[in-house]
Structure 1
Amino acid sequence: MNRRIGDPHVDDLRSRCAGVVALPARLEPWQTNVCRQPMMLAGWLDRYGSPLNLLDSSPVARNVGELMDAAAKARVDLKIYFARKANKALTFVERAHQLGLGVDVASEQELGQTLDLGVSAADIVVSAAVKPTALLDLCASSGATVVIDNEDELRLLIDAARRFGQNVPVAPRLAPQLAGRQTRFGLTTGEILAMVDRLWAAGVEQPLTIVGVHFHLDGYDAAERVSALAECVQLIEALRARGHRPTFIDIGGGIPMSYFDDARDWDRFWSDHRAAVLGRREPLTFEGHGLGLTAHAGEVLGQPNLYPYYQDPIRGPWLTEVLTGTLGLPRGAEIAADALRIRGLQLRCEPGRSLLDGCGLTAARVEFRKRWHDGTWLIGLMMNRTQCRSSSDEFLVDPLLLRAGGRGDDDVEVGPIEGYLVGAYCIERDLLSWRRMRFPMGVDVGDIVVFPNTAGYLMHILESTSHQMPLARNLVFRPGEQPLLDAIDRVGPYRAGHGGGAV
């Protein structure tokens, strides 16, 4: 991927804030246009509160197209399901539905809201890690496809299907046997077949139909997906030999994306950070936080506890690697795409982050600045670390600083400075970024800090109302129109039997 250069608007936006070792975000045109109007953004913050999530679902179509093009070239039937857990906003469910995608849901609330928006149960897959009775009842009454993780939930679903008099489609979740890697999700092939043989013994009719198989893997390795596909093909054949008619393999999520245009920025950061961990240069992070790395006897140990924010290939080219991979099958090797096509199998996937690439930003107001003991500055924002964080230690993307008519004391020296963005929780380490930032033109109270490309997982997966601080509101941006709060902020939570998930 090549760095986008020569755009003065983008360069100007990046000029006011960067990491000591810069990691400049790839920006969508709509994000650039919004950030060039800081007073407009300040008005939205005044009205809706800080922080504020801004959403634009239009990049979804491009991201979907990359995957569909790769599948078409391989002559594979692909069905994409948007992983709702990546972002709670209903605007993305609506866009997925408009584009003919399915929706992957992980709770009763997500399922109820998605049904209320008019998405057909035939286009919904329920992959929740834990499925309480209320969720299984809604699955049974609606007819949504249920990914079966274990025998307990399968038996509960059978009971629910009988109560509602419905035949429910199900897909057992396979736990692929990978070298040195285990997943807590699903069962082995042997366990699945033993479960099927017990519950679908000869002459026993169940109100469930096995329509496919599913797997979920952590990480983004294409070769591991190829290996898992080989196991799935063999499981499909074993199920068909028992009289079942599964028609798809669902590879779950983990389709990679990239937050940067240039691998050199990513490589430079890690080279310098490893040198800092070894004490060979000043730390790049607050109090030398290792981001998963530690020094021992002159060596760097450990692995980064981070999403790989730069990846290549992503989306379409990555899927091409999977579909052109070789499956080691008992009767000989087969190319993945050929193996699917020969058996009449549809390929399904459930991307979240990679579908929402370019679809959001999070903005927060600067409320204070103060010097720390080492001469750096602490920049306090009206937000907390749960409002731009996933399970990683850090969001390794440089924020943008926008001037919006500062309210600070002119006697306070504000630049050029270096320091850290800190949050509103009464916790010593409520840092919004562990990385040390440079502010060449200083920072003023009332300025706006923008975290780019946060729609995928970063907005909502960990958000908290601790201290009774309200959750960030979600504003849907459409060029040329007045932005509106997403429906998730305008209606109450879904309640079984009452609707309430859509407008």
Structure 2
Amino acid sequence: MGTTNSAAAGRFTRESSPLTQPMMHGTAPLTARLEPWMEKVISDPDLCQELIKQYGSPLNLHDYSSMGRNIAELRAAAEAHEIDFQIYLARKANKTLGAIDKAIAEGCGIDVASFHELDQCLNRGVPTERLIVTAAVKSAALLRLAVEHGVVISLDNVDEATELLEIAGESEQRVAVALRLASDNPAIPPTRFGLKADQWLSFLEQADKPGKLKVDGIHFHLNGYDGSQRALLVAESLELIGDLRELGQEPAFVDMGGGIPMSYLDDENQWAGFWEALAELPEGDESLTWKSDRLGASGPEASSAVYPFHQKVIRGGWLQQVLETKDSATQKTIAQMLRERGIQLRCEPGRSLLDGCGLTLAEVAFTKTRSDGAPLVGLHMNRTQCRSTSADFLLDPLLIPTGSGRQEREPCDGFLVGAYCIEEELILRRRFEFPLGVGKGDIVAFPNTGGYLMHIIESASHQLPLAKNVRLEGRETILDGIDEAGASLR
């Protein structure tokens, strides 16, 4: 077993896996951090074959054990600052029921973004006080269901709030809401979510004369992962809470939404090196990406088209920085301001909680060349089944050699293509090397896909079935989809 493996241009290296010699890597490698359970699966070709045979390709595997560790990391940062703190798992990040169960078992709540997400959580026995509805667009059915069960609703706009007041008029109870706040601060980018503080105050004074809305807290949504922006908006939220208390409301929390960073890669040099090489790539050169695709950026700091797969400060360290930020007006830290006002801080992470919880397997369908000779490796999956809203998934998959003819194979490289009948049907847009070859029947494993990458944009176009979702418990598997009954495989 070699210790390193040279890439095509001789500029990049990838450390050999603790499992086996690397059998697949990008021409500019981006080596994923793996959980022990992932390593165990990948090192067992017979199990992988059996799973694909039983459930089809692609297949989403889950092990939620690392969620507890991720939760504990955030809680430790909050406890160090002696603040009241609660975590709500972003349900939209993963549709399995097991993710709900694990979050609740760890004492977290659930952030839901649709009628069905709320209905599933209620049917699953999630306590109503551990739910919040944050959907960007809320149907009347969703609003009614939340009102019926006393679930807090994050209000986004006047039309939505007016509709809620009409529904609330049918009930004797006041309706629990959080006001979604859009910042007035020029240091924070414009957002489509929420209203400014003066707009909310005006609405409450003018439209809610019966006092049907019970404002339990302030909620906001920010794009990106900038902790300093979160701190600014927490401070702004606390100012709004003061104004609301003067109106007779009793808000008790600030919910800063998601966007808590995580890191998929341990090697910062690989991450920087990939972007440096991409920036230098001549037009038309496909040695790194399909049709020399720049993935929307020329450097890791400038890129907004892809998730930052390597980040230095994540989860607990990031939250600590937010809490230690000083408000320019009071010169008090965010943590001090929360404690003095008796306000709970909430967050709604998706990726950060599901870090380490998912692995996607797909079977190789064929190898061939494009009409101009570019090598292709076809998979039994489509490009929506390992992708979020980003331009690409920037981790090296792992090859599990389960196909036939392994003795006759030669080293090769190529692009991973999928099942949709369009020219740009790329599973990943990067070029990959296969030092020991690749063939029909092999299995490609996509690491750490549990947060958003499996489900957020998955499509059953061409009437292809959606991937099965399976929870692993040793060598036993349990179907873990929203409409699936349990099954086992030994």
With the length of structure 2 as denominator, give the TM-score of the two structures.
0.92
For 1:54 and 1:230, the matched residues in 2 are separated by 40
Matched letter for residue 382 of structure 2: N
Is 1:440 the equivalent of 2:435?
Answer: yes
Would the alpha carbon gap of residues 163 and 304 (structure 1) be closer, same or farther in structure 2, given more than 3 Å must change?
closer
Gaps of 5+ in 2: 1-14
Matched letter for residue 136 of structure 1: L
Structure 1 counterpart of 2:322: 322
**Conserved 8 A contact 2:286-2:431:** no
Counterpart pick for 1:118 among 116, 125, 131: 125
Gaps of 5+ in 1: 1-7, 493-503
Counterpart pick for 2:96 among 89, 97, 117: 89
Matches of residues 287-302 of structure 1 in structure 2 within 5 Å? 287-293=291-297
Identity of aligned residues (%): 47
For 2:234 and 2:133, the matched residues in 1 are separated by 20
Structure 1 counterpart of 2:290: 286
Is 1:179 the equivalent of 2:187?
Answer: yes
Matched letter for residue 234 of structure 2: L
Deviation for aligned residue 1:489: 4.0
Classify the secondary structure of the residue corresponding to 2:429.
Answer: coil
Matches of residues 374-453 of structure 1 in structure 2 within 5 Å? 375-404=373-402, 406-407=403-404, 414-453=409-448
For 1:485 and 1:403, the matched residues in 2 are separated by 25
Classify the secondary structure of the residue corresponding to 1:483.
Answer: strand
Deviation for aligned residue 1:276: 0.9
For 1:91 and 1:415, the matched residues in 2 are separated by 42
Is 1:312 the equivalent of 2:312?
Answer: yes
Deviation for aligned residue 1:179: 2.5
Is 1:74 the equivalent of 2:81?
Answer: yes
**Conserved 8 A contact 2:272-2:300:** no
Matches of residues 27-66 of structure 1 in structure 2 within 5 Å? 27-66=34-73
Deviation for aligned residue 1:375: 4.1
Deviation for aligned residue 1:199: 2.5
Deviation for aligned residue 1:11: 3.6
For 1:184 and 1:44, the matched residues in 2 are separated by 43
Classify the secondary structure of the residue corresponding to 2:352.
Answer: coil
Classify the secondary structure of the residue corresponding to 1:316.
Answer: helix
For 1:14 and 1:147, the matched residues in 2 are separated by 50
Structure 2 counterpart of 1:341: 339
Matched letter for residue 114 of structure 1: C
Counterpart pick for 1:252 among 229, 252, 257: 257
**Conserved 8 A contact 2:27-2:287:** no
**Conserved 8 A contact 1:17-1:399:** yes
Note the aligned Cα RMSD (angstroms): 2.1
Would the alpha carbon gap of residues 167 and 427 (structure 1) be closer, same or farther in structure 2, given more than 3 Å must change?
same
Matched letter for residue 472 of structure 2: F
**Conserved 8 A contact 1:178-1:224:** no
**Conserved 8 A contact 1:418-1:436:** yes
**Conserved 8 A contact 1:14-1:400:** no
Deviation for aligned residue 1:400: 0.3
For 1:95 and 1:286, the matched residues in 2 are separated by 39
Is 1:273 the equivalent of 2:308?
Answer: no
Classify the secondary structure of the residue corresponding to 1:474.
Answer: strand
**Conserved 8 A contact 2:322-2:334:** yes
Would the alpha carbon gap of residues 439 and 168 (structure 1) be closer, same or farther in structure 2, given more than 3 Å must change?
same
Is 1:22 the equivalent of 2:29?
Answer: yes
Structure 2 counterpart of 1:488: 482
Note the alpha carbon deviations across 1:389-423, whole angstroms, 9 max, x for none. Answer: 0110100000000011x14698xx74201100000
Counterpart pick for 2:196 among 188, 203, 208: 188
Deviation for aligned residue 1:359: 0.1
Deviation for aligned residue 1:487: 4.3
Structure 2 counterpart of 1:5: none
Structure 2 counterpart of 1:457: 452
Deviation for aligned residue 1:229: 1.2
Structure 2 counterpart of 1:496: none
Matched letter for residue 70 of structure 1: A
Deviation for aligned residue 1:286: 0.6
Would the alpha carbon gap of residues 105 and 14 (structure 1) be closer, same or farther in structure 2, given more than 3 Å must change?
farther
Note the alpha carbon deviations across 1:207-262, whole angstroms, 9 max, x for none. Answer: 32101001000000011111111211111111111111101100000000000112
**Conserved 8 A contact 1:253-1:351:** yes
Instruction: Spell out structure 1 runs of 4+ moving beyond 6 A.
Output: 299-302
Is 1:151 the equivalent of 2:145?
Answer: no
For 2:304 and 2:109, the matched residues in 1 are separated by 33
Is 1:229 the equivalent of 2:223?
Answer: no
Matched letter for residue 247 of structure 1: A
For 2:332 and 2:305, the matched residues in 1 are separated by 36
Deviation for aligned residue 1:319: 0.1
Equivalent residues, number? 471
Q: Which moved more, 1:304-313 or 1:248-257?
A: 304-313
Note the alpha carbon deviations across 1:29-68, whole angstroms, 9 max, x for none. Answer: 0000011111111111111110000001111000000000
Structure 2 counterpart of 1:498: none
